[in-house]
Structure formats: C-alpha cells, structure tokens
A and B are shown apart, each in its own frame.
Chain A
C-alpha cells in the first residue's frame, strides 16, 4: 500500500474551547474540555484527553517505538520504520466484524509532524504529559496558553554507554535533574574508578539507579548501554503506561526496584490473557504476539532489553522467528 503523503491540515478552531481541529488523511482529530475525538469515514472514537496526550507525546518521542502503540484498545499506530500506520479498530474483533475498522499508512515524518502539531495546540502551560499525574497540572478545560518549552524530552540515546566522552551525560543536579521524591529514601554513591596511568577514560562506570531516580519523565526510556544490537534501556515508571504496547519482536523486562503490574492481552484481538506482577529482581519476556500495559503503584525502576537488529520485525511477522524468545528444549 502506498503511503499517503498529504500532511496534516487545520480544519477550524472551536470558538468556545479555543482548540483547533485537524485532518490527516481520512482521520479527523478534535478535542473538547475532557476528550479527544478521532473520526474516520466509517466511525468515530472518544479518548479521555489526558490518556490521549500522554500517549501521543510518547509516540513522538519514541519515534513510534517497536511495533504497535495502542492509545487505547481502538486507536493507535504501527511502526514500519519509515512509514507508520494510523489505525482505528483494526485490531479489535468487534470493529473488524462490523467493518468499522480503518487503517492508513503515512511516511513517518508526516505522522510525527501531525502529532507534534496536535500536541502543541492541545497542551496548555502547567500540564506536562511526560510527568507522573501527581507531578503535573490538569489537561482539562479550555485552551489557555500553549507551552513553549520542549514537549518531548528525556530520551537520551547512548551509542555505547551513558556518560562516556561524546555520549549523553548521566543525569545530575548539574543537568537540572534532582532526585525524584519517590526515591528520596535511597542512598546514592558513585562507583570508585581507579585507572592506572595511560588508561584514563578507558574504564567507566555509573550509578544507574541514580540516573533513573533523577528522571523527570515517566515511561520514557533512555539507552544506557549497547552491546551490538542489544540495547539496555532504563526508565522510571509511575502510575500507568499510557499506551498499550504490542510487540513486533520479543523484549525483556528486568524489574530493578518496587513493582509493576502488567496486563497481558492477545496482540491481534485484544483478548485478555492475564496479569504479571514483577517485583524487584524479576525478569520476564514480553513475547512478540502480545500487547501489554504496565501499572506502577509507586514510582519504580525498570530495565528493558531490546534487540534493535534492523529488519527483525519482518522476520517475526513472516513466521521465520518464533514469537517467544526461549527454547526450553
């Protein structure tokens, strides 16, 4: 299917709320005081505005991430690494059965521009969808003043290891990242590095927990260490993952502190499969045939190990690779 290259267009501004509505391909986006409304030629859908904006800014920041990003059970994006599907009901059994589902494919930069345009117009000063709900204002109500700072931040991608020369810095007071309130009870020290003369800069270590504890964003990973295509991402998690992630490959979670409850469902139908509760020290694979959503009652630290090998999504989609990672023999 050819990608639709038509860019986002404004379709009008509501005189009462002040928010602008937009069209992208066959999709229309409107917001009111409480909700985002998404419509397409065969249907429409309503999403609570906090949920919608939290999902949208993360989808931008993640570069549409790996595979499927469900804003909720109905609306979302699929990353094809160059193009992006926008879908509504395409992975919901009821919408599919009634023929109400819709899917359009766009160049990734077209969707990125569209999401940035919508987010910029629909997010007011005082509300930061990347922060935990307890740490930011409300997105509800009419348009006030648009934010002028960066909407998307926090995704520091190391190519070898965080903090090495030429790599993104480890978070610190100096970078404007104090220890988050939820980790104030921990003590943070530094690893001791003793280099012999001539080897300065060749040995390296960081306090990874300190780096995570200073994150001013949630559910927004930073790459800290890379072995070949194996990427160590770490992130601070509080409240709920504001998207449901459907994998196009296997990924792994290592719970570093506290606990996260994961709801697991079938990727294609959304049929629930159950729950995983990960506590500090637990390791769990997220297979390539599920969707998952996390709930973190207290801010916690999570390590995610991804395989960034290019083209992997096609090998899973074709069935060449099994949708689960371990062969038990």
Chain B
C-alpha cells in the first residue's frame, strides 16, 4: 500500500478540531501555519508555554534582526527554506538576561562562524554564545524552542480556538 504523508504549509493546511466539554483556554489549541500567516515577519509568537519555557512560531521573510540568547535555542523549519547565519560572541557580549532571545542593535562584532541552510523538517541548533540571523527569500515558517523572553509575543486570545 502506498501512503500519502500530509504536511502543512503557509499556503495549505488543515486546522483540526477541538470539541470538549471543558474550558478550551486550558488547551490553547492553535495552528502554526495560521499563526505565521497572520504574523509580521520575525514576530516570535508563543504557541507553547511551559512555565518559563516557550516555543515560538516565526514567519521568516527577508532578513531578520540579529538575535542572541543566554542559552541554546533550537529552530525547526516547518515550511520553506531558511538560512541561519552565525557570529561568535565574546563572553562579555553574551546576553545576561534570564532567558529567551534578545534582539541586537545591528550586526554583532565578532568572527563569522558560518551558516546553515535548512528546509522543512530540519532542526537547527542556535547555540549559546552565538548571535544568529534568519533569512528566507520566500515566506517560511519555523518553530523556535526557547525560553520566554523579551522578543516573545503573546496573543493567545487571537491565535487559539476558544469556541
């Protein structure tokens, strides 16, 4: 038997359903393609919140600002092709805030570490001690595993199915 694996994309996705005799806010049911489709480029919209940890849906279109975090982050590309560029930060350049990505004012000073080009299904390490920039020629989508931080955007009431 031949199988047909269903994946989603910005242009084509099905949203699923939630039918519960319960307060639907408790389940925060959303869809990353819908969230990315309604987001501005590089808004990092929380779709997962586990106390201080989040996963952010990011619409990647053009070149992002440069980001850095005081811990490892991970990006899983879910649509399109994304190039991640990395610059090594000196110890005193590594952000000292509690967690999450912070936007840097410009291209950080430091040696170029290289780049990773990733497509749907590829998971990329955004290592502590490095700044990174995300770029995509066409709109792309990624989920970033990180901590709740200054760049995390929360609009749960808008993105979740509540009725």
Residues in A lying within 8 Å of B, measured CB to CB: 160-161, 164, 181-186, 188-196, 198-199, 202-210, 224-230, 232, 250-252, 254-259, 264, 273-287, 298-299, 303, 305-307, 309, 321, 323-326, 328-329
Contact = CB atoms under 8 A, between A and B. Distances in A.
16 contacts: A161-B123, A181-B3, A193-B116, A199-B88, A203-B115, A205-B122, A208-B123, A224-B123, A227-B146, A255-B16, A257-B5, A273-B22, A282-B30, A305-B145, A307-B53, A325-B51
A232 B145 contact: yes
A283 B115 contact: no
B48 interface: yes
B123 A225 contact: yes
A188 B74 contact: no
Contacts of A264: 20, 22
A254 B120 CA distance: 14
B147 A227 contact: yes
B73 interface: yes
Interface in B48-91: 48-53, 55, 71-74, 76, 78, 86, 88
B50 A205 contact: no
B5 A258 contact: yes
A244 B160 CA distance: 25
Contact of B118 (A205, A256, A273, A299): A205
Contacts of B7: 186, 256-257, 280
> Considering the complex of A and B, which 9 residue pairs feature the smallest CB-CB distances, nearest first?
A209-B121, A274-B20, A324-B26, A230-B53, A281-B8, A280-B8, A307-B50, A279-B16, A208-B123
B43 to A, nearest CB: 16
A281 B33 contact: yes
Contacts of B50: 230, 250-252, 305-307, 325
Contacts of A198: 111
Nearest to B82: A191
Contact of B121 (A185, A210, A259): A210
B121 A254 contact: no
A194 B30 CA distance: 35
B85 to A, nearest CB: 10
Nearest to B33: A281
A205 B114 contact: no
Contacts of A181: 3
Contacts of A252: 48, 50, 55
A285 to B, nearest CB: 5
Contacts of B31: 279, 281-283
